[in-house]
């Protein structure tokens, strides 16, 4: 099968100290009000972001197609405030509780600055707060210290100090998934290169990140000197060139006169394209004032993408005709339905059409799983039971926002044919092997189609005839080593509408994707990029975002031991800022997902005393409770106790057998291995 491309159609580039020649970018920087022109792809309204800031009363009376974003205080206390009462220690022989009160927030955060004292660094902080990014994940270094001093002066922006730049990038990724945009601040080269992997993941996952790096003194660029922290060249563009591969816009601020224009250009591009951007600030400019910073910034007015009315009408008419000819059409939702408006439009179309609805694995949680038309996850041979058969036997599959990779297609083994698909992407609609209609915003098409589509529930009736009620593994025997499927049976029982579930790369994918999310339960994974260790930092960022916007929620993270060893330090940051996730550390002695793709001695890892290490990270600051579970009764007791301990980070190590994994991972791993091991075609020369 030739899978339709899910890759973005291009990226904006910018030379050092200049902005891109792209029309949307140039328009964004034209004047003091950061007004961005209509972007060529996607629905670019910030109000469609994951958790957008509410619009203020000043937004009333705007011209159609624009929303003004106003600065606003956080919805709740910042990390480190509002600690929950101390809970009683648990008496289990496998548990250990340690806790200390959190220290009060520094008075420096409460300082205010007169407009006449505003400088570049404070202006950056104001812009971040204005777009709803009220936390910045940072690691100090000599090139960004002066900038960090200025960021601290904005009372509505909290800085979260991370253990290293890679983890800070993962944290900004997690924060962006909840709040719609994230930010990290690093030092030059040694910090930026460390963060590069995390920023690449955010680019792959369509997440707006504002990457701010301190840079060399503006006077050093023409000095012909070799600078510390660099690769030894006497020019300093190496970090910029690296970030061109993982950001949609890059600006280097070396002159205070054009700093406002360059900053607004980059931030506008991040919001418009839902991709990371790179902002490099010379280390000697951060505290300089300029007339453009002397008053509160003019609010952003981000232009929306505009749908071509004629193209929309033609696409809807063709789609209605084709869907009307189908016997058992089906609706398949992909990961690019993440924006709020797109999700609402998919839901409205589902209810108008009465089609059965399946989601791709990386779109789990983007369609309500308690909806009567939801049938489960489509992932080829590792789909929810009966879903693969219904999807691949449908004569028309209306696929919205799908991204087709070797991972999401189980090694390119799907039987779903492009000629049976009506594909709705960010800026185009394609009917099977036939025509493509361009210049159409996804949500506009879905909303228009919902008004005209004829209802047809045949596919849903077929699914209900063959579907079986879900089953659970039976209780384990006394003393029997905990099984993975039993572990996730109990995690299923603890999910509530106020739970946010984060799954690490690996067998946790397959086990959490089988869970049924209650209404309101949120779910995140990183499938396209699949960077092992992502979830620890992402849990930090997501937890910080929830503390600000919905403190009643509680995060649950499922992390494998191999992944945890890569980014474990950030648990100390969670403790430092008083976050209270429940972390399940699944200890099976290796990289299970890689074992099932291609095994070898390199997939065996050194076992750690994981609960002991976490207690060492605690070291008297924050609130921590740990437990170890090797049997089902121990697991049940640990979960029951963890649920009582709000305000405490609860770390549960679940020990399972090295070869205990889901059957879905076995099947998926063999297919991905087959795709990876394809040999070049024979040419007749030398046997190759």
Q: Are 33 and 299 in contact (CB under 8 A)?
A: yes
CB 400 within 8 A of CB 333: yes
Regarding whether 662 and 534 lie in a shared domain, the answer is yes
One domain for residues 445 and 490? no
Give the number of C-alpha atoms closer than 13 A to the C-alpha of residue 614, restricted to the C-beta side: 31
Residue 573 lies in a domain: yes
- Measuring CA to CA, how many Å separate 37 from each of 136, 279, 306, 360? 27, 20, 10, 32
Angle ∠(190,196,201) on CA atoms, nearest 5 = 160
* Residue range 38-62: mean pLDDT, rounded: 33
Interstrand relation of 436-438 and 428-431 (parallel, antiparallel or unpaired): antiparallel
Interval 527-568: pLDDT, tens:
999 999 999 999 999 999 999 999 999 999 999 999 999 999
338: in domain:
yes
Structural domain for 127, as ranges: 120-293
The alpha-helical segments, DSSP class H, found in 326-474 are: 340-353, 387-393, 442-450, 458-466
User: Do residue 558 and residue 635 come from a single domain?
Assistant: yes
Tell me: do 364 and 448 sit in the same domain.
yes
Q: Are residues 559 and 662 in the same domain?
A: yes
> DSSP secondary-structure letter at 88?
P
- pLDDT tens-digit readout, 317-365: 999 999 999 999 999 999 999 999 999 999 999 999 999 999 999 999 9
Answer yes or no: do 134 and 255 share one domain: yes
Which two structure tokens, joined as six digits, stand for 154? Answer: 């904005």
> Nearest-CA neighbor of 223 among 211, 234, 232?
234
Instruction: Give the tens place of pLDDT for each residue, 259-275.
Output: 999 999 999 999 999 99
Residue 316 lies in a domain: yes
Q: Identify the pLDDT of residue 115.
A: 59
- Whether residue 105 lies inside any domain: the answer is no
Asked if the model's pLDDT at residue 109 lies above 60, the reply is no
Residue 402 in tokens: 């799908």
Instruction: Give me the residue label for tokens 């509505």.
Output: 156
Distance CA 611, CA 603 (A): 22
Confidence of residue 656 (pLDDT cuts 50, 70, 90): very high
Same domain, 450 and 515: no
Stated pTM of the model: 0.83
Q: How many CB atoms lie within 10 A of CB 282?
A: 28
Q: How far apart are CA 490 and CA 496, in angstroms?
A: 13
List all residues 6 or more positions away from 434 whose beta carbon is below 8 Å from its beta carbon.
Answer: none
Same-domain pairing of 434 and 507: no
* pLDDT band for position 116 (cuts 50, 70, 90): low
Six token digits for residue 308: 């071509």
CATH number of the domain that residue 421 is part of = 3.40.50.1220
Average pLDDT, the chain: 83
At residue 219, the pLDDT reads 85
> Which helix (H) or strand (E) segment is 158 a member of?
strand 158-161
Answer whether residue 506 is part of any domain: yes
Q: Are residues 248 and 131 in the same domain?
A: yes
Indicate whether 64 belongs to any domain: no
Question: Same structural domain for residues 493 and 460?
Answer: no
Neighbours of 98 (CB within 10 A): 18
pLDDT higher than 50, residue 80: no
Here the tokens at position 641 are: 């106790």
| Lowest-pLDDT range of 16-25, 268-277, 592-601, 603-612 | 16-25
DSSP of 523-562: EE---SS--TTHHHHHHHHHHHHHHHH-TT-EEEEEEEHH
Strand partners, 369: none
Residue 267 within a domain: yes
The contacts of residue 478 (CB under 8 Å, 6+ apart) are 631
Helix/strand/coil for 388 = helix
E strand or H helix at 632, and its extent? helix 632-644
Residues 225 and 145 in one domain: yes
Range name among 38-42, 181-185, 648-652 with the lowest pLDDT average: 38-42
Residue 687 lies in a domain: no
Residues 449 and 506 in one domain: no
Count: domains in the chain: 3
Q: What is the CATH number of the domain that holds 526?
A: 3.40.50.970
Whether the per-residue pLDDT at 153 is higher than 90: the answer is yes
User: Cα-atom radius of gyration of the chain, to the nearest Å?
Assistant: 25
Helix (H, G, I), strand (E, B) or coil at 556: strand
């Amino acid at each position: 099968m030739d899978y339709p491309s899910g890759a973005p159609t291009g990226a904006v580039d910018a030379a050092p100290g200049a902005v891109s020649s792209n029309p949307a970018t140039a328009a964004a920087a034209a004047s003091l009000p950061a007004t961005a022109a209509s972007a060529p792809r996607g629905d670019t309204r910030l109000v469609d972001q994951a958790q957008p800031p509410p619009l203020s009363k000043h937004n009333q009376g705007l011209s159609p197609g624009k929303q003004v974003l106003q600065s606003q205080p956080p919805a709740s206390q910042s990390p480190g405030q509002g600690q929950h009462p101390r809970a009683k220690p648990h008496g289990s022989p496998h548990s250990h509780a340690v806790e200390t009160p959190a220290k009060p927030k520094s008075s420096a955060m409460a300082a205010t600055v007169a407009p006449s004292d505003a400088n570049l660094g404070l202006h950056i902080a104001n812009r971040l707060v204005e777009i709803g990014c009220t936390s910045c994940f940072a690691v100090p270094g000599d090139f960004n210290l002066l900038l960090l001093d200025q960021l601290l002066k904005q009372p509505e922006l909290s800085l979260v100090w991370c253990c290293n730049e890679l983890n800070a990038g993962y944290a900004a990724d997690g924060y962006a998934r909840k709040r719609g945009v994230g930010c990290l601040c690093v030092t030059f080269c040694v910090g930026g290169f460390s963060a590069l992997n995390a920023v690449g993941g955010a680019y792959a996952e369509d997440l707006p990140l504002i990457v701010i790096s301190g840079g060399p003194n503006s006077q050093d660029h023409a000095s012909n000197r070799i600078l510390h922290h660099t690769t030894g060249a006497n020019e300093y563009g190496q970090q910029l060139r690296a970030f061109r591969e993982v950001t949609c816009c890059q600006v280097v601020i070396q002159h205070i006169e054009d700093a406002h224009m360059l900053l607004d250009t980059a931030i506008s591009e991040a919001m418009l394209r839902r991709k990371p951007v790179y902002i490099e600030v010379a280390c000697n400019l951060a505290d300089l004032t300029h007339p453009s910073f002397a008053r509160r910034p003019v609010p952003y007015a981000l232009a929306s993408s505009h749908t071509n009315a004629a193209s929309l009408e033609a696409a809807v008419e063709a789609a209605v005709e084709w869907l009307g000819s189908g016997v058992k059409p089906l609706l398949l939702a992909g990961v690019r339905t993440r924006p709020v408006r797109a999700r609402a439009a998919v839901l409205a179309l589902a209810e108008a059409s009465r089609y059965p609805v399946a989601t791709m694995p990386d779109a789990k949680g983007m369609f309500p799983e308690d909806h009567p038309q939801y049938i489960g996850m489509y992932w080829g041979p590792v789909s929810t039971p009966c879903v693969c058969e219904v999807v691949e036997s449908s004569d028309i599959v209306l696929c919205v926002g799908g991204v087709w990779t070797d991972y999401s297609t189980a090694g390119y083994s799907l039987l779903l044919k492009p000629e049976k698909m009506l594909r709705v992407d960010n800026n185009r609609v394609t009917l099977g092997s036939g025509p493509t209609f361009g210049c159409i915003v996804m949500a506009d098409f879905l909303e228009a189609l919902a008004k005209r589509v004829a209802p047809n529930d045949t596919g849903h009736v077929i699914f209900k005839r063959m579907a079986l009620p879900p089953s659970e593994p039976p209780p384990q025997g006394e003393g029997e080593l905990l099984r993975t499927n039993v572990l996730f049976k109990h995690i299923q029982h603890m999910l509530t509408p106020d739970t946010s579930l984060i799954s690490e790369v690996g067998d946790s994918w397959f086990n959490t994707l089988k869970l049924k999310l209650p209404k309101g339960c949120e779910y995140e994974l990183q499938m396209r990029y699949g960077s092992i260790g992502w979830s620890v930092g992402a849990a930090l960022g997501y937890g910080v975002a929830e503390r600000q916007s919905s403190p009643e929620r509680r995060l649950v993270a499922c992390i494998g031991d191999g992944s945890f060893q890569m980014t474990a330090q950030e648990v100390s940051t969670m403790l430092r800022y008083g976050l209270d996730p429940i972390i399940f550390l699944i200890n099976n002695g290796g990289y299970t997902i890689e074992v099932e793709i291609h095994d070898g001695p390199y997939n065996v890892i050194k076992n750690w005393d994981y609960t002991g290490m976490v207690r060492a990270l605690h070291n008297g600051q924050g609130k921590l409770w740990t437990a170890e579970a090797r049997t089902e009764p121990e697991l049940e007791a640990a979960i029951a106790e963890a649920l009582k301990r709000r305000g405490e980070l609860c770390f549960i190590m679940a020990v399972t057998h090295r070869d205990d994994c889901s059957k879905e991972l076995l099947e998926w791993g063999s297919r991905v291995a087959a795709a990876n091991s394809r040999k070049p075609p024979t040419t007749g020369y030398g046997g190759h």
